């Protein structure tokens, strides 16, 4: 593959709802451009983009794939993303490398939740976007209905550059170019379907609709440029070149979103799609002419131009850690130029890496190149200490580029190997999978001894298990995480604990009078004080008494959970000059604890989570009703953009699998965060259930 200049590169992230045909768009472009000789299908598992065994098995994309296509002296880097919401992290990372977005919409289903999310992502990132209405060959596809729904959701930015043509039976036979006022209709030719699109005249009955839509496009073009707007108001006719100039400006600032249509499984509309991207979508140098970054030496924010003459800097937006392919870091060059004889510097890791080979990737294929210019996407293999979100630069000009903000990993499960002794293997495999997907988090809960894995949803973790099995030959299982309850006392008890043992020779004797009461501080397990007068308990035994308390609070008397908020005061006791020892006083304290705590009104505390839900207002009733069922308390509700933000406190035990329930309630439009807040006394019926469950666990 030849080296392309910054102005000849288009980085296009493909977004949309699952099943709308995003992967087929890339396959169609590859086939039509002559890059591949065979048109792959997701149903047959032979597409260039979906090469992972999990993707082939499930028939859906689950990770980002970069697909470069050469067309009209331009390199279009298509970045194919998953449509499932569990893989939003892949979408976020892809958008960091993109200059514009292609949102694919099903002509029969219309704009779906994934379409709305894609639009919102573009708005958030300030990305230019265009829309391709796919599946127009389906008899149930309705372009006008889809267009109307998009206008209602996304406003007047929606600008149809094409409208479909149908015969008397309603069958899709081509489309009309609204700007240039010509049609492309089906004729027999060399293609997967046996038909190709050829230029033809606009049918007379469609001329009125075409003129009406063209007038709207001319108005949109004029609004993007003051000079053109003045000409428009003076009722002067705009030239084709002026229309293109205005539309280019409108696409760049997001005020115009071109709408194209076709059926990519048959390659209908593929040529026009690529032509439109080359002609209308600004190049990498125009879309992101500068990037703000932090100069490591001065710690000041500076700007780097998307220009080959600038110092080199690149951002790693994707990492592949495959046991067969090896480790591959995919990056976008933000400034300067990377050649294969350079030594690069990883700024975050403070390590120098020597490049041996430089690649452009197409799916899993690695194409070796000599250099990669600013604005282009490449890959490096076998970098020892580089991962996603790292900045690569030169030692002389180190900078840190903006980081990707990944979605919160809110769905947690306990993970364990099915085979004993595989704990170390599973830990190493999870580390590699975390390199590929930063939305996977792991931790070992020191209290419950469970290994926990966090993801963005149930399907996310289900695929994680499959990858462990197929890639790393480790069978694992997921289970519900143990909730870390606590115990405390609400009352006061004074109790004497005596430990006396005689077995010939030295005996054991310890005697303490303890007062147990709440300390008022649930952040500490216990507070120990002594108020002994007259030396009834010698001072050298005070540490032994505290040690006894320290050990006892590890397991409470109700359900064996750790005790918090306890104040233990040693008030009196007695000792034996020969038989007393530190061990005896520690045992005496344990006796006092076991007898005294049940008298001091012990209770179970449950962890309370701080939960924030962001969802459209129409779902507020369902969300609040659901929180009430979970024994949650709504603290406040605030508008946030187009959504409402609900802040609540909910028992952590009630939040298990909440991500699935929230998606069900909000048609996947809602998202949430969940963090531990504090401990609070559980209702009596909950306490009884916890005690019973714990009893069964300890009996096993």
Give percent above pLDDT 70 in the chain: 99
Q: Which residues of 216-323 form beta strands (DSSP E)?
A: 257-261, 290-295, 301-305, 313-322
CB 310 within 8 A of CB 304: yes
Taking only the tens place, the pLDDT of each residue in 184-208 is 888 887 766 677 788 889 889 889 9
User: What confidence category does residue 263 fall into, taking pLDDT thresholds of 50, 70 and 90?
Assistant: very high
User: Given strand 526-530, what is the order of strands in its sheet?
Assistant: 493-501, 508-518, 566-574, 526-530
What mean pLDDT do residues 323-333 have?
84
CA triplet 316, 317, 319: central angle to 5 degrees?
Answer: 80
Give percent above pLDDT 90 in the chain: 72
C-beta atoms surrounding 49 within 10 Å: 29
Closest listed residue to residue 205, CA positions, set 243, 237, 238, 163: 163
Beta pairing partners, 479: 414
Sign for the pseudo-dihedral over CA of 607, 610, 614, 619: positive
What's the pLDDT score for residue 382? Answer: 85
How far apart (Å, rounded) are the C-alpha atoms in residues 150 and 144?
Answer: 10
User: What confidence category does residue 612 fall into, taking pLDDT thresholds of 50, 70 and 90?
Assistant: very high
Helix (H) or strand (E) holding 656: none
Half-sphere exposure of 269 (CA within 13 A, CB side): 29
What's the pLDDT score for residue 352? Answer: 93
For residue 325, pLDDT over 70 is answered with no
pTM over 0.75: yes
Question: What is each CA distance from 476 to 409, 434, 438, 467, in whole angstroms?
Answer: 20, 16, 20, 10
How far apart (Å, rounded) are the C-alpha atoms in residues 268 and 280?
Answer: 20
Q: Which residue has the higher pLDDT, 129 or 237?
A: 129
Strand 74-80 relative to strand 100-106: parallel, antiparallel, unpaired? unpaired
**Burial bucket for residue 347 (CB in 10 Å: 0-12, 13-18, 19+):** buried
**Least confident interval from 161-170, 253-262, 469-478:** 161-170
What mean pLDDT do residues 306-310 have?
94
Sign for the pseudo-dihedral over CA of 111, 116, 119, 121: negative
User: What confidence category does residue 508 fall into, taking pLDDT thresholds of 50, 70 and 90?
Assistant: confident
- Domains, the chain: 6-174+255-283 (3.40.50.300), 290-400 (2.40.30.10), 411-479 (3.30.70.870), 486-600 (3.30.230.10), 604-699 (3.30.70.240)
Closest listed residue to residue 198, CA positions, set 209, 187, 208, 206: 187
User: For 306, which DSSP code?
Assistant: S
């Amino acid at each position: 593959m030849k080296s392309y200049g910054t102005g000849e590169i288009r980085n296009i992230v493909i977004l949309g709802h699952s099943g709308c045909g995003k992967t087929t768009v890339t396959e169609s472009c590859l086939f039509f451009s002559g890059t591949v000789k065979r048109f792959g299908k997701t149903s047959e598992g032979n597409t260039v983009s979906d090469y992972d065994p999990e993707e082939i098995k499930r028939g859906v994309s689950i990770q980002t794939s970069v697909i470069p296509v050469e067309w009209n002296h331009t390199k279009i880097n298509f970045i194919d993303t998953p449509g499932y919401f569990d893989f939003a992290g892949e979408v976020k990372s892809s958008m960091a490398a993109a200059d514009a977005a292609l949102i694919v919409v099903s002509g029969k289903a219309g704009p779906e939740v994934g379409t709305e999310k894609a639009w919102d992502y573009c708005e958030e990132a300030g990305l230019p976007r265009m829309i391709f209405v796919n599946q127009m060959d389906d008899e149930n596809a309705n372009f006008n209905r889809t267009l109307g729904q998009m206008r209602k959701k996304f406003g007047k930015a929606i600008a149809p550059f094409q409208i479909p043509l149908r015969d008397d039976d309603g069958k899709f036979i081509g489309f009309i170019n609204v700007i240039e006022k010509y049609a492309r209709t089906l004729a027999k030719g060399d293609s997967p379907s046996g038909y190709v699109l050829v230029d033809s005249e606009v049918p007379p009955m469609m001329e009125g609709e075409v003129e009406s839509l063209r007038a709207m496009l001319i108005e949109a073009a004029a609004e993007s440029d003051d000079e053109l707007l003045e000409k428009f108001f003076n009722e002067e006719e705009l030239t084709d070149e002026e229309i293109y100039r205005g539309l280019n400006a409108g696409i760049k600032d997001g005020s115009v979103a071109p709408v194209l249509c076709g059926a990519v499984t048959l390659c209908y509309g593929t040529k026009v799609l690529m032509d439109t991207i080359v002609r209308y979508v600004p190049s990498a140098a125009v879309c992101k002419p500068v990037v703000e970054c932090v100069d490591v030496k001065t710690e000041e924010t500076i700007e780097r131009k998307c220009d080959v003459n600038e110092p080199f800097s690149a951002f790693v937006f994707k990492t592949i850690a495959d046991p067969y392919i090896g480790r591959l870091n995919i990056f976008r060059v933000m400034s300067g130029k990377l050649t294969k004889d350079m030594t690069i510097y990883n700024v975050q890791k403070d390590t120098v890496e020597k490049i041996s080979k430089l690649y452009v990737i197409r799916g899993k294929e690695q194409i070796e190149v000599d250099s990669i210019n600013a604005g282009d996407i490449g890959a490096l293999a076998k970098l020892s200490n580089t991962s996603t979100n790292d900045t690569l630069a030169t030692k002389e000009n180190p900078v840190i580029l903006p980081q990707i903000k990944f979605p919160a990993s809110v769905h947690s499960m306990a993970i364990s190997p099915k085979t004993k002794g595989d704990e170390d293997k599973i830990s190493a495999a999870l580390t590699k999978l975390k390199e590929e997907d930063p939305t996977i988090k792991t931790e070992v809960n020191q209290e419950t001894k469970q290994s926990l894995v966090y993801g963005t949803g149930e399907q996310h973790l289900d695929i994680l298990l499959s990858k462990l099995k197929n890639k790393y030959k480790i069978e694992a299982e997921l289970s519900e995480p143990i909730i870390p309850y606590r115990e405390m006392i609400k009352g006061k008890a004074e109790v004497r604990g005596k430990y006396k043992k005689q077995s010939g020779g030295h005996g054991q004797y310890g005697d303490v009078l303890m007062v147990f009461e709440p300390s008022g501080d649930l952040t500490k397990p216990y507070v120990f004080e002594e108020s002994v007068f007259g030396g009834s308990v010698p001072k050298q035994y005070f540490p032994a008494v505290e040690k006894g308390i320290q050990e006892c609070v590890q397991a409470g008397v109700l359900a064996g959970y750790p005790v918090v908020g306890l104040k233990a005061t040693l008030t009196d006791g007695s000792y034996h000059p020969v038989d007393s020892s530190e061990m005896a006083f520690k045992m005496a304290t344990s006796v006092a604890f076991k007898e005294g705590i049940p008298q001091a009104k012990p209770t179970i505390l449950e962890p309370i989570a701080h939960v924030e839900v962001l969802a459209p207002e129409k779902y507020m009733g369902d969300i609040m009703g659901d929180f009430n069922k979970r024994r949650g308390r709504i603290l406040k509700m605030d508008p946030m953009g187009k959504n409402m933000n609900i802040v609540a406190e909910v028992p952590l035990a009630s939040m298990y699998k909440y991500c699935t329930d929230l998606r069900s309630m909000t048609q996947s439009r809602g998202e949430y965060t969940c963090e531990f807040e504090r401990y609070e006394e559980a209702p009596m019926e909950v306490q009884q259930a916890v005690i019973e469950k714990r009893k069964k666990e300890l009996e096993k």
